Structure 1
Amino acid sequence: MSDPAEAGDDAGTDASTDASTGPIDPAEQRRVVRERYGGIARSATDSDAGCREAGPGESTGCCESDGNAGVDPGSESLRLGYDSTDVDAVAEGANLGLGCGNPTALAALSAGETVLDLGSGGGFDCFLAAREVGPNGRVIGVDMTPEMVERARENVAKNDAENVEFRLGEIEHLPVADETVDVVISNCVINLSPRKPQVFREAVRVLRPGGRLAVSDVVQTAPFPDDVRLDPSSVSACVAGAATIDEIESMLADAGFTEIEIDPKEASESFIRDWDADRDPSEYVVSATIEARKPR
C-alpha cells in the first residue's frame, strides 16, 4: 500500500486557482471559519464536548440547537443520523456534535481501505471509520484549525486508534500524496470553502482510480437574502456558503468525477431550523448526501 505520508507539507498545492465560490472575500471567509471552530475546540471539555452558547447575534449552526446551550453531543449526533452504537463506540472528547449527516454510514467502508476525512474536527468520523477499515486500513483527518488538530491528536490515544492520524492543512491543498486514498468523506465542511471546485479537484487527485467520494453537506434550495448571503457568521455556520445541487454536480463533473448522486434530505429541516436564533436556515438550505466516483 502506498504511504500517504510520503507527501510533504506542500502536497496538493498547485498554481491553479478559482474565482471564489463563496459570498465573501476568501481570506475573510477562512478567518471567520478558523476562529469559529478554533473557539469550539478551545471551549470543549470531555463532559460538554464543544457546543457552546451563542453570543449576541451569533448563530450556533453546525453545533447545537439554539436555546439549548450545552446540549449533549451524543444526542445531537442521533438527530444527524448516527445511532447509539456509533456514539458509544468513540471516547468522550472526539464527538463535538457537529455536522449535518453521517458520512461514515454513507461510505460503506471495507476492511483495509484508506479513508480521508476533509475537515476532521475532533476526529469523531475518523474513529468511526477506523472501526470499519480495521487494523489493516488507515484513516487520515485533515483540518485547517490548529486547535482542532491538537484536540484530535489527543483523542487518538483515548480511542486506541493506531491507524488514525491527523494533519494540519486546507482542504483546497491537501497534505496527501496522489492516488493513495480509497474513500474521501466529509461532514458539513465543503460548504465552508471559498473555492469548492479546487476541493473536488484535490479529492480526485488523492483518490486511487475507482475511489469514491461520500459526503454529507448542505445544499442551497432557495436564493439567500443579502443579510444572510453577506453575513460572515452565516457563512461560518454552514448556511450562506452552500451551493445548489446543479452547481455541485457541475463542480464534481468538471473535477473528473462520474456516477454523481446528490440526495437532499428533507427531514434535516428539523435540526437545520435550530441553527440560527434570528432566521430559519431551512428556508434556504437542506442537508444532502453527495456521492461520486473517480473513473478507473
Structure 2
Amino acid sequence: MMTTKTRTNEEIHEAVQDRYGRIAQNFQSELPVLNDSASCCDPDSGADYCGSDLYDVDLSQLPTDVTGLSLGCGDPIAIASLEPGQTVLDLGSGGGIDCFLAAERVGPTGHVIGVDMTPAMLEKANRNKAKLGVAHVEFRQGQIEDLPVEADSVDVIISNCVINLSPDKTAVFHEAFRVLKPGGRLAVSDMVTRGKFTAQERADMSAWAGCITGAEDVGEMATWMQEAGFAQISIQNKEDTGVELADVDPHVGAAQIFSARITAVKPSIAK
C-alpha cells in the first residue's frame, strides 16, 4: 500500500523559498511577464488568474522589473480603500508591485512595509525602490507567520496570492490581527477552495509552491479568521462578487480552486 508523506512546515517554507528565489534570480526584464518559469500558478493547471494584467490601474509608470515579477492572483489595492497618511503592510511583497502602488495612495505622509522571506526577492524589491525613489517604502525579511512588525501599528494589511503558500494559516491570521491597529483592515487577494485537497495532493511541493494545493476551504479560512479575532469577514470569488462563499452549502467532491477577494476588520477597542 502506498503511503503519503506528511510535509513539515520547514519543508514547505523551503520549497516556496526555493521556487521564488529562482524566479527572482532568473528574471530578465525582456522576458514575457507570464512564462512557465515565472508564474505563481502551476503551468499545467490551465489557470489564467495570475499576473500584472489583473490590475485595474495603469502600470506603465512602473519598471518592468516590478511588473514582470507580479506573481499575484488579483488586485488587493482595488479593495484596500487606502487613504493618505496610512501605514500599510504587504504580506509576501515579492518584487514590490503592491507596495509601490500602495505608496502612491498613502502619499509621502504614509508608510508602506513589505515583508518577504526570500532574500533574492528582497534584493529585487530594494533595487526597484531605488529606481522609483520612494522613501516611504521599506522591505523587511521575515515570515508572515512571525511578522517583524510592532503590534497595533498598521492601518491596512494587503497580500496577493501569498497566504495560500503558508503551512500555518492560523498563525498568519493571528499575526495579522496582532499588528493591525484597532479598526484596521485586511484586504487580500488569494487562492481558496470549495472542498479540500487530499493528503497526497498536499504532499506535492511543486503544486503547493505553485499556489495550488496550499489553498484552503473557504469555510475553514473564515473560521480561522474569526478565531483570530476578525469581524466583518468577507470571502468572495473574484469573478462572481456579491456571494459570500463561506455561507454557501459545503462542497462535495474534488476541491474547486479559485481566486478570491478576502476582507476583514479588527474591531475597535470599546470605549
With the shorter chain as reference, the TM-score category is 0.7 to 0.9
1:179/1:209 contact within 8 Å kept: yes
Match of 2:24 in 1: 41
8 Å contact 1:209–1:294 — kept in the other structure? yes
Paired residue for 1:77? 52
Query: 1:295 aligns to what?
Result: 267
Q: 1:215 aligns with which of 162, 184, 188?
A: 188
List per-residue Cα deviations over 1:24-65 (Å, max 9, x = no partner): 3211100100000000000112333775545xxxxx752586
Q: Is the 8 A contact 1:89 1:128 kept in 2?
A: no
1:1-296 equivalent positions in 2, closer than 5 A: 24-48=7-31, 51-54=34-37, 62=40, 76-78=51-53, 80=54, 82-83=55-56, 85=58, 87-95=59-67, 96-225=69-198, 227-266=200-239, 284-296=256-268
SS in 2 for 1:88: coil
Q: 2:90 touches 2:99 (CA, 8 Å); kept in 1?
A: yes
What letter corresponds to residue 110 of structure 2 in structure 1?
A: G
Alpha carbons of structure 1 residues 171 and 149: separation in structure 2 relative to 1, 3 Å: same
Q: Provide the C-alpha distance between the structure 2 equivalents of 1:77 and 1:101, rounded to a whole number of angstroms.
A: 8
Q: Secondary structure at the match of 1:183?
A: strand
Equivalent position SS for 2:213: coil
Q: Mind listing any 5+ residue stretches in structure 1 that lack a counterpart?
A: 1-22, 55-59, 69-74, 269-281
Q: What secondary structure sits across from 1:220 in the alignment?
A: strand
TM-score normalised over the length of structure 2: 0.84
Q: Which secondary structure does the structure 1 equivalent of 2:214 belong to? A: coil
User: 1 or 2 for the larger relative contact order (CA 8 Å, sep ≥6)?
Assistant: 1
Q: Contact (CA 8 Å) 1:49, 1:94: kept in 2 or not?
A: no
Q: CA RMSD in A?
A: 2.5
* Distance in 2 between residues matched to 1:66 and 1:227, nearest whole Å: 18
Given the two structures, how large is their TM-score scaled by the length of structure 1? 0.78
Over residues 92-134 of structure 1, what are the superposed CA-to-partner deviations in whole Å (9 max), with x where a residue is unaligned? 2112131110001110100000000000000000000000000
Tell me which stretches of 4 or more aligned residues in structure 1 moved more than 4 Å. 49-52, 63-68
The amino acid that maps onto 2:262 is: I
Greater mean deviation of Cα atoms: 39-48 or 142-151? 39-48
Query: Could you say if the C-alpha distance between residues 241 and 44 of structure 1 is closer, same or farther in structure 2, counting changes exceeding 3 Å?
Result: same
How many residues are matched?
248
Partner-residue secondary structure (3-state), 1:292: strand
Task: Say which SS state the counterpart of residue 179 (structure 1) adopts.
Answer: coil
The Cα shift of 1:66 comes to 5.9
Could you tell me how far 1:149 is from its partner in structure 2?
0.6
Q: Unaligned regions of 5+ residues in structure 2, if any?
A: 1-5, 242-253
| Structure 1 residue identity aligned to 2:112 | V
**Contact 2:34–2:51 under 8 Å retained in 1:** no
Cα distance in structure 2, aligned partners of 1:65 and 1:97? 16
Task: Check whether the contact 2:42–2:210 (CA below 8 A) recurs between aligned residues.
Answer: no
Q: Equivalents in 1 of 2:13, 2:119: separation in Å?
A: 13
